C-alpha cells in the first residue's frame, strides 16, 4: 500500500474524535510492518493519550513480547507531526525514539510554535527516517479548525442559516416561522456536536427561544454563546437552562452563576465580530457556528470573519420577509436534504 493509503487511514481514525479533542487537533496513527497494519490508534479526548501512544499500546496488546522487535522494523504513519513538548501528555516524538521506530511518515508539520519542526528534528537526530508532506493539503483541510486557531488567532467560523426559495430569512413581524424541514434540522444538530460553540444574538434568543443543543443527534452539546448587550433575554428562556454551558456577552456585568457565564465587553457597537472572535480565541474555543440573526451574520460577513457558510434553501416562498444575508464566497458543494437544498460555501478571500 502507498504512503497516501495509510495517511488516509490516519484521517479516518482521527475523524472518530471530531468534537471531542478541541483545542487539540484530530490525529490518527497507523503502525505498519511488511505491508501489514500491526497497530493503530487516535487521539480520543482532550487531556487523554494522543494517537501515537494509543497505536503503540495496540501493538503491545496484540503482540506482547514480540512488540518491541516489531516496532524496530515498523513504519509509523501520522497525519500531523508528533509533538515534541510536555503538555498534558509526554512528547510523542520521544515515544517513537524510545521504541526505535524505523521510519515515520507524516502528513502535516504542526503549526504550533512549541512543536513546528521540533518533532521531526527529534526523530531525525535519533536516526529515524522521516518523510513529511504526504497529502499535505488534505491533512490541513481536515484539521482546518486547529490551523485557523493557531495561525489566525481566532476560531474557525461557520455561518449557518435557512432561507426561502425567494430569498427571505425571517419574518418582518418578529414572530417565529420555520423555514427548513426536519432532515435539515437533524443535520444541524449533528453539526452542533462537531463544533465547540454556537452563537446567536438577542433577537434570535427572544423570538425563537432556542435550546441550541444537540437533541436530535448523539453527542455533546456545544457551548451556547449569546450576544445580549443589555441583558434583555428573559431568564425563563431555554438558553438559561442547565443543559449546556452558556456565555452571555454583554455590557453590564462579569459573573458566573452555575453554568451561566456573563462576560462584560465595552463598546459592543464597534468591531463586535472582531471582539467576539478574539475573545473566543482567548477562551480556547476552536470553532463556532453562527446562527444569527441577520444583523449578527451580516457583521461577520462584512468583517470577512468567516470560513464556511452552510445555507439551507427551502422549496417554499414567502410573500414578504427580511432578506437573507448576501454572501461573497465560492460554492463548494450543493446537496439535497429532503425538500431543502444545502449550499456549502467556502471563504476564499482569506486565503
Residues belonging to the active site: 52
Is 204 one of the annotated binding-site residues? yes
Angle at 313 between CA 308 and CA 318, to 5 degrees: 135
Is 126 one of the annotated binding-site residues? no
Alpha helices per DSSP H over the chain:
3-14, 51-63, 67-72, 92-98, 118-125, 136-142, 144-152, 182-194, 202-208, 272-282, 294-302
Is 318 one of the annotated binding-site residues? no
Nearest Cα neighbor of 77 from 44, 110, 55 is: 55
Is 4 one of the annotated binding-site residues? no
Is 66 one of the annotated binding-site residues? no
Give the integer Cα–Cα distance in Å for 81 and 40. 16
**In a 10 Å sphere around its CB, with 0-12 CB exposed, 13-18 middle and 19+ buried, how is residue 61 labelled?**
exposed
Is 291 one of the annotated binding-site residues? yes
Is 92 one of the annotated binding-site residues? yes
Angle at 148 between CA 97 and CA 275, to 5 degrees: 135
* Cα dihedral 146/147/153/155 (nearest 10): -50
Sign of CA dihedral 223, 227, 229, 232: negative
Is 215 one of the annotated binding-site residues? yes
Over its C-alpha atoms, the chain yields an Rg (Å, rounded) of: 23
Give the integer Cα–Cα distance in Å for 116 and 81. 8
Is 224 one of the annotated binding-site residues? no
Annotated binding residues for Zn(2+), as ranges? Answer: 50, 83, 92
Annotated binding residues for substrate, as ranges? Answer: 192, 212, 215, 291
Annotated binding residues, as ranges? Answer: 50, 83, 92, 162, 178, 192, 204, 208, 212, 215, 291
Annotated binding residues for NADP(+), as ranges? Answer: 162, 178, 204, 208
Amino acid at each position: 500500500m502507498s504512503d497516501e493509503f495509510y495517511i488516509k487511514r490516519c484521517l479516518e481514525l482521527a475523524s472518530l474524535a471530531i468534537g471531542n479533542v478541541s483545542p487539540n487537533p484530530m490525529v490518527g496513527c497507523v503502525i505498519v510492518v511488511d505491508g501489514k497494519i500491526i497497530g493503530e490508534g487516535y487521539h480520543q479526548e482532550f487531556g487523554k493519550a494522543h494517537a501515537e501512544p494509543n497505536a503503540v499500546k495496540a501493538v503491545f496488546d496484540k503482540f506482547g513480547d514480540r512488540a518491541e522487535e516489531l516496532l524496530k522494523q515498523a513504519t509509523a504513519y501520522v497525519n500531523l507531526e508528533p509533538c515534541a513538548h510536555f503538555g498534558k501528555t509526554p512528547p510523542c516524538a520521544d515515544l517513537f525514539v524510545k521504541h526505535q521506530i524505523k521510519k515515520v511518515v507524516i502528513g502535516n508539520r504542526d503549526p504550533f510554535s512549541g512543536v513546528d519542526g521540533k518533532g521531526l528534528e527529534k526523530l531525525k537526530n535519533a536516526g529515524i527516517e522521516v518523510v513529511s508532506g504526504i497529502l499535505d493539503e488534505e491533512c490541513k483541510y481536515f484539521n482546518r479548525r486547529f490551523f485557523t486557531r493557531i495561525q489566525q488567532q481566532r476560531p474557525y467560523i461557520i455561518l449557518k442559516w435557512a432561507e426561502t426559495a425567494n430569498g427571505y430569512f425571517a419574518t418582518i413581524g418578529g414572530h417565529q416561522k420555520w423555514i427548513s424541514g426536519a432532515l435539515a434540522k437533524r443535520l444541524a444538530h449533528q453539526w452542533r456536536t462537531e463544533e465547540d460553540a454556537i452563537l446567536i444574538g438577542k433577537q434570535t434568543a427572544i423570538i425563537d427561544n432556542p435550546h441550541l443543543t444537540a437533541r436530535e443527534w448523539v453527542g455533546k452539546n456545544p457551548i451556547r454563546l449569546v450576544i445580549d448587550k443589555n441583558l434583555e433575554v428573559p431568564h425563563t428562556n431555554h438558553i438559561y437552562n442547565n443543559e449546556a454551558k452558556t456565555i452571555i456577552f454583554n455590557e453590564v456585568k462579569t459573573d458566573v452563576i452555575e453554568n451561566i457565564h456573563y462576560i462584560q465587553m465595552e463598546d459592543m457597537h464597534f468591531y463586535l465580530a472582531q471582539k467576539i472572535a478574539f475573545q473566543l480565541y482567548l477562551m480556547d474555543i476552536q470553532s463556532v457556528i453562527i446562527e444569527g440573526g441577520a444583523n449578527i451574520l451580516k457583521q461577520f460577513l462584512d468583517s470577512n470573519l468567516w470560513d464556511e457558510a452552510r445555507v439551507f434553501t427551502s422549496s417554499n416562498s414567502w410573500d414578504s420577509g427580511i432578506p437573507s444575508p448576501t454572501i461573497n464566497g465560492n460554492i463548494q458543494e450543493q446537496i439535497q436534504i429532503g425538500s431543502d437544498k444545502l449550499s456549502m460555501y467556502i471563504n476564499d478571500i482569506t486565503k
